[in-house]
């Protein structure tokens, strides 16, 4: 079954935008405070943004309200390259702390014509699948942090979700610039691991270190129930503990599908790894950690999180996958909206310092980094391999010049299509604090300049550290 398509003619449009601006001020997650809520009517003046030509997604909710579970039935029209495609979808609000922002992000599934079955389709030119995400950059006023990171990761051969810019409209209301993202799931074109057949324990698994869905900043150990997660046997310092704050959430198979034998299987794999890593002989090439992990994936994951100094890195939105009879792999990477100096807590904006040392910098934070990374950085072999890959990447795809060129290409593309100005007409947050901004630029150009400068300083610091291993 294929979606219907037809050619489009450009249409003109005007907006009267009523925007509710939520301004948040806090130094960190523990002191979230609403300081100002105001509504303002924004009308286009002579210098208003022009009709933009970016590909668009238009969603009709058929009189329903999109909520955070369950998904509601809706209709989607994708307009791109003068071609219009129609789809049936199920859609919901997604995210944890990001749900506080007025610009929401959404998860959706493509459906059959009567919404009764999931339907694999190709969106954005990506491989056919049914599960998709529309991420709405809000606190990231550069608008590009996620796309930049995912594209860079793919460029070095470290598989990340494909991502693409779109304008989003819901019930004819312009919602701003969005990024279409492939949801992380088991699939030959996403996380290519073996499908588990029924109750069989043999197959591929995906787990993640993350908040429970919709938790925001409300943490409690009891929130991580055995039905959907298991607790690490080691605390953040690598000591055996029955009260570790680190939990692993089942992603594939889903919590609703995974059985007890499968739970025990994947938890035993992780426990064996942690036990070996905590041992005196952890660096033994035959019996140590090298025997149980895919070291290249660990290094690539490390590099992407350290370059970006992603404040959520290692401890949140961290995916791990294991295929049948294969080693543990890190990834895919996920969620970089607070990276590149875009957070004002826990030294996140400082271009110096190792991110993996987060526990020392912010020992009181409720989400902590597993001891894995500190331990791996005690390994001579790990650091040697890290140095080799770092120097290779820095000579090409991750060079200062290449990264800056990538940024410039996004900015030119968005400005050429008049998207930046239109997005910030809808969401007038430039020059205003949105949690947890460290830098507050008066213009999009200043946000981009800050991003570029931060990256260059970060790369230079990392060069000085890694090249001296």
Helix or strand (DSSP H, E) at 294: none
137-151, 212-226, 427-441, 455-469 — which is least confidently predicted? 212-226
pLDDT for res 220: 55
Element spanning 34, H or E: strand 34-43
Residue 14: pLDDT band by 50, 70, 90 thresholds? very low
Judged by average pLDDT, the poorest of 52-56, 107-111, 206-210, 348-352 is 52-56
- 114-160 pLDDT tens trace: 999 999 999 999 999 999 999 999 999 999 999 999 999 999 999 99
Q: Report pLDDT for 51.
A: 57
Q: What torsion, rounded to 10 degrees, do the Cα atoms 36, 39, 40, 41 define?
A: 170
Please give the Cα distance from 460 to 437 (Å, whole number).
23
Contact 62, 75 (CB under 8 A): yes
By CB atoms closer than 10 A (0-12, 13-18, 19+), residue 85 is middle
Q: Among 390, 401, 395, which Cα is nearest to 468's?
A: 390
**Residue 468: which residues within 8 A CB-CB, separation 6 or more?**
none
Q: What is the spatial distance between Cα 162 and Cα 464, in angstroms, rounded to a whole number?
A: 32
Before 436, cis peptide (omega within 30)? yes
Q: Which two tokens stand for residue 399?
A: 């060079």
Residue 466 φ then ψ, to 5°: -70, -40
Of these ranges, 36-45, 50-59, 275-284, the one predicted with the greatest mean pLDDT is: 275-284
Residue 460 contacts by C-beta under 8 Å, 6 or more apart in sequence? none
CB 341 within 8 Å of CB 438: yes
Distance CA 279, CA 272 (A): 11
Pairing of strands 5-7, 83-94: antiparallel
146 close to 182: Cβ distance less than 8 angstroms: no
pLDDT at 270: 98
Say how far apart CA 301 and CA 306 lie, in whole Å.
9
Cα dihedral angle (186, 66, 172, 87), rounded to 10 degrees? 40
Of 13-17, 95-99, 435-439, highest mean pLDDT: 435-439
Are the CB atoms for 385 and 295 separated by under 8 Å? yes
SS3 41: strand
Q: Mind listing the pLDDT tens digit for each residue in 58-104?
A: 999 999 999 999 999 999 999 999 999 999 999 999 987 778 899 99
- Gap between the Cα atoms of 287 and 74, Å rounded: 53
- pLDDT tens-digit readout, 356-395: 999 999 999 989 999 999 999 999 999 999 999 999 999 9
The pLDDT value recorded for residue 214 is 52
**What element of type H or E holds 114?**
none
Average pLDDT, the chain: 89
Q: Write the CA distances from 161 to 132, 135, 185, 459, integer angstroms.
A: 10, 12, 10, 24
Pair 365, 30: CB distance under 8 Å: no
The residue written with tokens 């925007």 in the block is: 19
**What sign for the dihedral angle of Cα 171, 174, 176, 178?**
positive
For 29, what's the count of Cα atoms within 13 Å in the CB-facing half-sphere? 17
Q: Where are the beta strands (DSSP E) in 44-172?
A: 56-60, 72-80, 83-94, 105-111, 131-135, 163-170
Residues 167-190: tens digit of each pLDDT: 999 999 999 999 999 999 999 999
CB-based contact 244:235 (threshold 8 Å) = yes
Q: Name, in order, each residue with C-beta under 8 angstroms of 76's C-beta and a sequence gap of 6 or more.
A: 57, 58, 59, 86, 87, 88, 89, 108, 110
223 pLDDT band (50/70/90 cuts)? confident
pLDDT grade, residue 38 (50/70/90)?
very low
DSSP 378-426: T-HHHHHHHHHHHHHHHTTTTSHHHHHHHHHHHHHHHHHTTHHHHHHHH
User: Do 302 and 373 meet the contact criterion of CB atoms below 8 Å apart?
Assistant: yes
- Tell me how crowded residue 210 is: count the other CB atoms within 10 A of its CB: 22
Tell me how far CA of residue 296 lies from CA of 21, 251, 302, 377, in angstroms. Answer: 44, 22, 10, 14
Residue 216 has pLDDT above 90, yes or no: no
Dist. CA 359–CA 369, nearest whole Å: 6
| Residue where the block lists tokens 């952890």 | 282
User: Average pLDDT for residues 230-256, to the nearest whole number?
Assistant: 96
């Amino acid at each position: 079954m294929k979606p219907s398509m037809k050619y489009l003619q450009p249409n003109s449009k005007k907006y009267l935008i009523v925007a509710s601006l939520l301004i948040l001020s806090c130094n960190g997650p523990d002191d979230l405070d609403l300081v100002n809520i105001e509504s303002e009517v924004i009308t286009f003046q002579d210098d208003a943004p022009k009709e933009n030509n970016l590909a668009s997604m238009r969603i009709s909710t058929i009189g329903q309200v999109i909520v955070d579970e369950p998904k509601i039935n809706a209709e989607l029209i994708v307009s791109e390259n003068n071609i219009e495609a129609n789809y049936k979808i199920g859609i919901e609000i997604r995210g944890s702390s990001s749900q506080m922002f007025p610009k929401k992000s959404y998860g959706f599934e493509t459906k059959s014509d009567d919404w009764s079955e999931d339907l694999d389709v190709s969106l954005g030119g990506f491989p056919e699948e049914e599960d998709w995400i529309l991420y709405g950059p809000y606190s990231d006023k550069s608008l590009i942090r996620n796309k930049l990171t995912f594209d860079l990761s793919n460029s070095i051969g470290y598989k990340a979700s494909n991502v693409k810019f779109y304008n989003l409209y819901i019930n004819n209301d312009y919602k701003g610039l969005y990024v279409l993202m492939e949801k992380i799931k088991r699939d030959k074109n996403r996380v290519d691991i073996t499908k588990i057949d029924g109750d069989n324990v043999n197959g591929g698994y995906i787990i993640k270190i993350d908040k429970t869905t919709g938790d925001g900043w409300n943490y409690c150990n009891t929130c991580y129930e055995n039905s959907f997660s298991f607790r690490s046997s080691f605390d953040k310092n690598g000591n055996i503990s029955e009260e570790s704050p680190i939990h692993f959430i089942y992603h594939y198979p889903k919590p609703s599908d995974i059985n007890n034998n499968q739970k025990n299987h994947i938890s035993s794999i992780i426990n064996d790894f942690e036990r070996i890593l905590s041992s005196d002989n952890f660096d033994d090439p035959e019996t140590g950690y090298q025997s149980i992990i895919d070291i290249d994936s660990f290094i690539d994951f490390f590099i992407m999180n350290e370059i970006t100094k992603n404040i959520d890195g290692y401890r949140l939105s961290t995916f791990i996958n294991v295929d049948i009879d294969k080693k543990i792999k890190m990834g895919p990477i996920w969620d970089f909206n607070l990276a590149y100096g875009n957070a004002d807590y826990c030294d996140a904006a400082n271009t110096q310092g190792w991110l993996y040392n987060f526990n020392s910098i912010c020992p009181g934070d409720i989400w902590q980094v597993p001891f894995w990374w500190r331990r791996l950085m005690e390994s001579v072999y790990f650091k040697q391999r890290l140095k080799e890959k770092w120097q290779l990447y820095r000579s090409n795809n991750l060079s200062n010049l290449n990264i800056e060129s990538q940024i410039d290409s996004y900015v030119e593309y968005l400005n050429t299509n008049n998207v930046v100005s239109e997005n910030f007409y809808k969401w007038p947050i430039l020059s205003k604090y949105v949690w947890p901004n460290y830098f507050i630029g008066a213009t999009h150009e200043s946000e981009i300049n800050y991003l570029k400068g931060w990256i260059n300083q970060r790369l230079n610091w990392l060069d000085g550290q890694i090249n001296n291993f």
